[in-house]
């Protein structure tokens, strides 16, 4: 497949980006990508019981035991068809882009104000892409609904389906923004990246549908509260977002907006900015709790959080966090501005990958560097109010950045034994109280 891709790449350049060669090149790349995803997911999941010959043990003992037949599962079929439709959608999108038909319809969701205009120029290819998107989108929603209704014993499937729906919503918004911003490079790149992420998610969903045993159920610890009331379940999801920390972040964003444009910021803009910021920060905090559930279970301060206490399963927490982050980005990009949305997304990714995944467990300087994520809200507020950044906004970022480590070290001094028990190299644990 790599050899084919190299050959197609050479032909594509030689023939000056002929549309069908671009499509073939893209299709091979996506097939190769899917193959890698299948390998990774297959290596991480068990072989389902129905694929194991029931007569293996009997034959080992000298018998001739029968071999179990493949069992038909409608959900598996639906997952594969949804994946195939999305693959076709990506190829059609590649053709639209390569043939220059990206703006053949200058408005959205209609085309020249009509549902079916004259199919001249690139309009036919453009409309084919839109109708294919509608078909694939309907299948994704149908798959998610089927997962919710029939796959309760396999929460991983439900989580993957929920992520797919979130990415679908984001992709629809980006498709509309492609028209609004006349195929701006940033929007086009985000549109392609989201398409790849959605395709990969559906590959994961299809593989899991074939490999996960139906008996694999997440079994939380006994909380003594069978059938928890709905209000308590909602409060558990709210707790995943660390609402008290979110409020502190929103205060700095709000103050920044007032400083940036005193008396000129509409209440609606403030509301949309704070709502998007709250969802983005909540998503980051939920992913943080998901990734740190093992150490949370060791610390007295955190062991009663929803995931280590067994009230929310990791797949559901992950799906909730991804959906929250997706909605946050779309809401801010559409109702605030793209710069504010990108800054908020950057803070989320920095907090998750730089602080939580990399620094938290590896260095006592974790909060010094990782604290930068908590200093981004003033930048978001400033960008929301003005549409750009300035030196004053950077100074507000620096103030919060410098304030964060001593604030966190004070908490670490108080919870030093907890951090030591969880093997987290906070400064008080490594250097002692006096040096801290």
The rounded mean pLDDT for the chain is 85
pLDDT at 46: 60
Which residue's entry shows tokens 């709790």? 289
pLDDT at 48: 52
Give me the residue spans of the domains in the chain. Answer: 2-112+122-211, 230-431
Q: How far is CA 219 from CA 70, 226, 238, 312, 396, in A?
A: 28, 12, 21, 10, 46
Name the DSSP class of 336.
T
Higher pLDDT, 2 or 16: 2
Kindly tell me if the per-residue pLDDT of 4 is higher than 90. Answer: no
- State pLDDT tens for residues 170-225: 899 889 888 988 898 888 888 988 999 999 999 999 999 888 765 443 344 444 34
Name the band, by pLDDT with cuts 50, 70 and 90, for residue 67: very low
- State pLDDT tens for residues 264-309: 889 999 999 999 999 999 999 999 999 999 999 999 889 999 999 9
Q: How many CB atoms lie within 10 A of CB 80?
A: 15
Inter-residue long-range contacts of 197-200, CB under 8 Å, 24+ positions, other chains counted: 197/167, 198/86, 198/140, 198/164, 198/167, 198/168, 198/171, 199/30, 199/33, 199/34, 199/83, 199/86, 199/87, 199/90, 200/33, 200/34, 200/37
Which region, left, alpha or beta, applies to residue 48 given φ > 0 means left and ψ of -120 to 50 means alpha? beta
Assigned CATH topology for domain 230-431:
Tetracycline Repressor; domain 2 (1.10.357)
């Amino acid at each position: 497949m790599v050899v084919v891709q190299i050959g197609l790449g050479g032909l594509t350049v030689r023939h000056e980006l002929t549309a069908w060669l671009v499509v073939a090149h893209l299709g091979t790349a996506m097939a190769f990508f899917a193959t890698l995803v299948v390998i990774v997911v297959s290596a991480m999941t068990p072989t389902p019981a129905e694929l194991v010959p029931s007569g293996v043990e009997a034959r080992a003992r000298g018998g001739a035991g029968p071999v179990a037949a493949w069992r038909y599962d409608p959900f598996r079929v639906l997952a594969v068809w949804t994946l195939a439709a999305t693959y076709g959608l990506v190829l059609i999108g590649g053709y639209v882009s390569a043939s220059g038909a990206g703006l053949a319809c200058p408005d959205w969701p209609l085309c020249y104000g009509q549902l079916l205009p004259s199919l001249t120029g690139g309009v036919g290819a453009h409309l084919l892409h839109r109708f294919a998107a509608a078909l694939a989108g309907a299948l994704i929603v149908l798959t998610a609904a089927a997962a919710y209704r029939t796959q309760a014993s396999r929460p991983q499937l439900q989580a993957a389906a929920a992520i797919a729906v979130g990415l679908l919503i984001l992709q629809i918004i980006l498709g509309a923004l492609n028209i609004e911003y006349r195929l701006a490079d940033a929007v086009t790149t985000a549109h392609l990246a989201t398409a790849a992420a959605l395709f990969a998610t559906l590959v994961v969903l299809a593989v899991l549908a074939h490999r996960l045993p139906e008996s694999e159920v997440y079994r939380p610890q006994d909380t003594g509260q069978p059938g928890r009331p709905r209000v308590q379940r909602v409060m558990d999801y709210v707790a995943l977002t660390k609402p008290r920390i979110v409020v502190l972040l929103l205060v700095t964003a709000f103050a920044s907006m007032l400083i940036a444009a005193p008396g000129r910021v509409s209440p609606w803009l403030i509301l949309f900015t704070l709502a998007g910021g709250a969802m983005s920060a909540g998503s980051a905090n939920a992913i943080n709790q998901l990734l740190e559930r093992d150490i949370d279970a060791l610390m007295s301060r955190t062991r009663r959080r929803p995931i280590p206490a067994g009230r929310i399963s990791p797949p559901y927490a992950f799906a909730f966090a991804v959906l929250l982050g997706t909605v946050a980005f779309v809401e801010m990009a559409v109702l605030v501005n793209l710069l504010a949305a990108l800054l908020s997304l950057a803070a989320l990714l920095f907090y998750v990958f730089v602080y939580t995944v990399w620094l938290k467990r590896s260095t006592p300087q974790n909060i010094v560097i990782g604290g930068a994520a908590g200093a981004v809200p003033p930048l978001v507020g400033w960008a929301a109010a003005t549409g750009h950044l300035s030196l004053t906004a950077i100074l507000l970022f620096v103030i919060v950045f410098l304030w964060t480590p001593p604030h966190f070290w004070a908490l670490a001094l108080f919870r030093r034994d907890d951090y030591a028990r969880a093997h987290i190299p906070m400064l008080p644990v490594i250097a002692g109280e006096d040096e801290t």
